[in-house]
Structures are given as C-alpha cells and as structure tokens.
Chains A and B, each alone.
Chain A
Amino acid sequence: MTGEHQTLALLLFSAFVAVTLAITTWVSRKRRGSAEEFYAGGRLFSPMENGFALAGDYMSAASFLGVTGLIALFGYDGLLYVVGFLVAWLVVLFLVAELVRNCGRFTLADVVAARMRERPVRIAAGTSSVTVSVLYLVAQMVGAGSLVALLLGGTSEGARAWTVIGVGALMVIYVSLGGMRATTWIQIVKAVLLLGGTIALTALVLMRFHGDLDRLLLTAAERSGHGEAFLAPGLKYGGDWTARFDFISLGLALVLGTAGLPHILSRFYTVPTARAARRSVVWAVGLIGGFYLMTIVLGFGAAAIVGPDAVRGSNAAGNTAVPLLALDLGGGAGSTGGTVLLAIVAAVAFATILAVVAGITLASSASVAHDLYASLRRRGGKPRSEVAVARVAAVGVGVVAIALGLLARDLNVAFLVGLAFAVAASANLPVLLYSLFWRGFTTRGAVWAVYGGLVPAVVLVVLSPVVSGSPDSLFPGVDLQYFPLQNPGLVSIPLGFLAGWLGTVTASEVPDEAKHAETEVRSLTGAGAA
C-alpha cells in the first residue's frame, strides 16, 4: 500500500471530519440547552432519519472489516456470525422499541424506575449501562488505532496513539457540543457513506462474476483450499465442544444483547411517537439486513478474488479483506482506480468508527448524568443543570476511553464486542422485560436482575481463556482460567433472569398494582409519553 492512497484517504477523512464538525457547530448554534434537546435531539426526527441513525449506530467497523474478513478466511462460519446481528432486531422490534419509547424519557433506567423505588434501580441500571458502553467503546478505540496501522501501513506506535487520542477528542466535541441532534446527523451521514461504499463494492464484485452468485461461491470455495467445506459451517466454530458451545453462547448474546444496548435504546427517544419508533426499526431492519447481505457477498468476493492466503498474510484476523478487495477491484496496486477505492474504504471505515463512538459516548454520558449523578449526588447539595453534568460526563467518558484504548492498544480486544453484547443481554434485558411484562416484579428483583447478570458476566470473563491461561490471552503469563468459554452469555443471561425472579419472590415488598397498571397502560397506548 503506497503513499498516494494515504494522502487521498486522509483528504477524504478530513472532509468527513470537517462536515461533521460543521454539523455540530450548526446544531449547537441553535441549542437551547434543555435535557430534551441534549439527550433526545428534541424528539422530532422522522422514522427514516432515525432508521438510518439506528443503522449507523449498529453497523460498526467490526462488521464492515471484521465480518467480511471472517467470511474471507472461514467462509460460512462468518455468515453464521452475521445472522445473529440481524435477527436481534426482531427482539428489539417486538418487545422493546415501542414500549420503551412510550414509558421512558432518556435512558433504560427511566423505564424501570417508573415502577420501582427510584434510587437503587437507577444506580443499578446506570452502572450496567455505563459498563456496556465502556466495553464497546474501548473495542472501537483500539480498533481505530489498529485500523490506522493496517490501512496506512507501517505506521509507528506514535501515530496509533495519536489516532486513539484524536478519535476520542472528536467524539467528545461532537457529543458535548452537539448532543443528540449532532450525533444523529453524524450517524445518518455515516450510514449513507457506509452503505454507498458497500453498494459500490458489491456491484463491482457482482460485475466481476457477471452476476453469477453460484460461480462466486464456487470460486471462493476452490480458492480457499477447503473446497466444499468452505461453504458449510465448521471451519472456525466447529472444533471441539468448547468451541461449539462458545459460538452458541455468542449467538445468544448477540440476539438478546442488541435490545439492551444503551445507545440503541436511547435512539427511540429521538422520534415523536411509538409508531415512529416502530417505523424507524423497520427502516433499520431493511438497511442493516441489506448491509449484511452485501458484506456476505464482499466476504466471499474477497475469498474468491484476493484469496484467503493473501488476506491472512496482510492481517491474521482478516481485517484487511475489504481494503485488499477494493484495491483489486479498482485495478490492482498502483492503478488509479485501486488507489481511489482503497482510500474510500479507509475513509469510510474511519467515519464508521467515529460515528459509532460518538453514539456510545452520548448514551453513556446520559446514563452518568441522568441516572448515576441524579441518584448519587448529596442531598442538599446545589443541584446543577443535568445537561451541564452530561457534557462534563461526556468529557469524562472520553478521557476514560482514551486511557483504556491506549493501555489496551497492543492487546487483542476482539472479544470485547461480544462481551458488551453479553453484558447487555444479561444485565439490561432481564430487568427491562420484567419491568414491562411482569406484574409482580419488585425493586429488589430489579436490582438483583441487574447485578445478577452483570457480575457473573464480568467475573466469568476474568476467569475465561480471553484473560489468562492460553497463548492468545490478554495475560498469557498468568493462569486464572476456570471457565472454558470466551463468551459468558450462555451462563450469565439465564443467571440474570434467574436473579430477577429470585429477588422478586424473596422480597417482602408488595408489588404496586397501580404502578404496574401505569407502566402497562402507558407502554401499550403511549398515554403521558414524553
């Protein structure tokens, strides 16, 4: 990879940064500083806009680069992984989107706290939301650093560190100055760019094979050296039983975790009604489904055109499959077409990371200010404006994310995304579903459900092979490994639901019928919705 495309990529990327900063300034010029404005963008986005923003929040660089790489290297098992990301949206659509829009104001904790004693519930739900966000954020920050090294080739340690700092600084600026409105527009711009880039590449791949998908698959299988096995499951997740259960665990976490991700939930508050929330999910399902179908074509295309050996040679995890594919589709190294396409892919990947981290930072600053600060601040202390606190929290979250991103920049943090989904599924989803649907649910049940999912998920990861006891671990030197799976979901999700049930049946507290009636009526009708 040469210098030309670097210059072009940096130019395109600077243009994206300039546009997003312009959006931020333009939005903050008119801001009134209300919480409604900061957390929910005034609640006046249309379903289509919010659908694009949801898709933008959800389609991370991990999907664009990671999943295509996985397919290029392991064939069908990459596809298997992708399916969970899409099916998850049915859980969001059926059980969460409309009801959360009707019941809450800004965060997940709003929905639960409406029925329960507010303080303990807010602290619990706020803690788990911040945990999920930080895990996801660190994965993205480290990813940004590695992306620079990959795409700009042979970059020094210093450049990677500065990338992490730069991404962190930009996301803090977007969020603290522009709030939800700027973040949403950045997501929309990014979603359009990402989809445009993906559509262009997919069209080129299909043209190369004259629209014959069968031949694309057969060429990929032949080129992979695995033959037919490349098109069937088993190359990556089909090893011993531990690997198989590990994938089932990951699949469960993906499907149930999406509905508990704070930055997805907070998106439903940006539209005026529950119907609009539903229709934004319909848009999101269409966009995300189309995007993943195209990544499948790109993944198999990379296997067929570039070949798994070349992909593996460039990056062992396969993250460069799409850049290499773009280079080849454009005419090969040194050609103008190749240079331009590669630069576009690099710029789109940067834009993706930047937009995703902004969305997560906003959601976690909302949890810190609206849930944690509001519950924990000393009574009688001078109450500050919640939005001011949220802006400071965004800076704080940014600093923490930069620090962790720098500390972890040489570690293999790919597991963090799966872990964030697992924590969301184990700690956030049970409490949310119980609050919405269970008449007898109590405050103790709510608190237990959160901690009963959060603590096992985190502890199991600490005791798992990703942290210690195997050559690929974060700390290969130590051996704390007592839990065989890399993803804790299979155990921690049932534990979260179990803990919520146990806490409720052992509580002496009598569930408040009227509060339950209020939640149920509001969730299904939208009465009194913010």
Chain B
Amino acid sequence: MQPSKGRPRGSGAGQESWVESLDAHDPFPAEEAGHLRYDDPWYDALASGWGESAGAGVPAPAVVPSARREGETRAAPAEVYLEVQRSAAFQEVRRRYRRFVVPSFVAFFAWYLGYVVAATTAPELMARPVAGAVNVAMAAGLGQFLTTFLLTWAYARHARLRRDRAALELRWDTQELTRGATGGVS
C-alpha cells in the first residue's frame, strides 16, 4: 500500500489540501478524534465540537476500511463508481447515513402530521390547559420548534462525527481512481 501523503494532488477544488493531514492508514487514537480539525476554511470553531467530550464519537476512519486496493489504477469511470459502491467503506458510510436519517425522518414526520391532524380534528384535546395560559396546543407547537432545533443539532453532530471523515476519504479515493481511469483531470 502506497502512502497517499507524498503524491501530487492535481484535481479537486482549492480547499482539498486538508486531505494531506488525514491519512486514514495511520490509526487515530480515540481521544484525538473528537478534537481533530479539518484544515478547511469553512470548518471553524463551531464545527469542531461544542458539547462533545473527548471520547464521544468513535473515530470513523479507524472503523471504516479503505475503498482503495492495490493494483486498481485502470478502470472505466463507470466501473470505478460501481467498485466504490460495492466497497465496504462506502457501504458503511451509507449505512450510517441511513440509520440516522430514516428513523429520525419517520419520527419527526409522524410527530408533525400527528400534531396537524390533532390540531384540526381534536381541538378539545388541544385546548386542555397545562400551566397558566399554556395549553396542550401551545406546548405541542413550541415542542415542534424544540424538536426541530434538536434534530438539526443531532443530525449535524452525527454527520460531523460519524460520516464526514470517511466520506472525505472516499471522495479522495474515488477521484483518484476516476482520474486514473480517464487518464487525466477527472
């Protein structure tokens, strides 16, 4: 396995240089993973972790295998994508994405539909007082705001800790492979 550090990076946008610092073949100590910064101009302090302690997330690259294998430098671009799609690394990223998105989508969509249906069909239930001027309807409405904020935060955190690094590796590997396939700039 050739280390990817020394190779020139021709394609990709200007911001891609952080890949240099992210060699997945060196296993990261778990404590460092939470604090690791991407050298991405948009990846400011907010991105790297308010609220999560050192061991909060299992470091993704340590778990996710690389898509790249030796001797695979020549293939048509279509085959490259099929190859990557079949790779364990990609399937792991996809599985993580779906395992978060599907249940939470179902949950908030059901919660919203339930709220709207209850508000239109069962106003008596919704009018029941809770505390002071606040009734069930008011609490549920503010609850919708709260769950939206919470799920937004949870999704962003999950993506940042569990998907981003593995996806970045895959992006680089795939671009490298397609560039090899087309024999030039991908």
Contacts and interface: CB of A to CB of B under 8 A. Distances in A.
Contacts of B84: 517, 521, 525, 527
Interface string A201-223: 00000000000011101100100
A209 to B, nearest CB: 12
Nearest to A235: B123
A142 to B, nearest CB: 28
A233 B168 CA distance: 47
B147 to A, nearest CB: 8
A521 B84 CA distance: 7
B180 to A, nearest CB: 13
Nearest to B38: A275
A245 B116 CA distance: 10
Contacts of B42: 46-47, 271-273, 275-276, 279
Q: B105, B153, B171 — which one has the most chain A CB atoms within 10 A of its CB?
A: B171
Interface in B145-186: 145, 148-149, 151-153, 155-156, 159-160, 163-164, 167-168, 170-171, 174-175, 178, 186
B17 interface: no
Interface string A417-445: 00000000000000000000000000000
A285 B119 contact: no
A392 interface: no
Given A238-B123, A525-B171, A87 B133 contact: no
B138 interface: yes
A238 to B, nearest CB: 5
A522 B138 CA distance: 42
Interface string B41-74: 1110011000000000000000000000000000
Interface of B is mostly: helix
B5 interface: no
Nearest to B175: A527
B167 A526 contact: yes
Nearest to B129: A228
Interface residues of A, number: 65
Interface in B72-96: 77-79, 81-82, 84-85, 90, 93-94
Interface of A is mostly: helix
B156 A83 contact: no
B28 interface: no
A83 B141 contact: yes
A272 B155 contact: no
Contacts of B112: 83-84, 87, 251, 255
A275 B40 contact: yes
Nearest to B186: A528
A417 to B, nearest CB: 18
Interface in B107-145: 108-109, 112-113, 115-117, 119-121, 123, 126-127, 129, 132-135, 137-138, 141, 144-145
Interface string A73-108: 000100110011011011101110010000000000
A521 B133 contact: no
B104 A83 contact: no
Contacts of A518: 77-78, 81
A286 B116 CA distance: 22
B141 A229 contact: no
B171 A275 contact: no
A285 B40 contact: no
A279 B159 CA distance: 11
B1 interface: no
B36 to A, nearest CB: 14
A229 B155 CA distance: 37
Interface string A506-520: 000000011101101
Contacts of A278: 155-156, 159
A234 B123 CA distance: 6
A237 B40 contact: no
A84 B171 CA distance: 35
A289 interface: yes
B113 to A, nearest CB: 8
A520 B78 CA distance: 12
B88 to A, nearest CB: 14
Contacts of A237: 119-120
Contact of A76 (B132, B138, B152): B138
Contact of A231 (B43, B82, B133, B186): B133
Q: B82, B120, B160 — which one has the most chain A CB atoms within 10 A of its CB?
A: B120
A84 B145 CA distance: 10
Given A76-B137, A521-B174, 5 more contacts: A87-B112, A233-B120, A514-B78, A521-B81, A525-B171
Per CB-CB distance, the 3 closest pairs between chain A and chain B, nearest first, are A232-B127, A527-B174, A514-B78
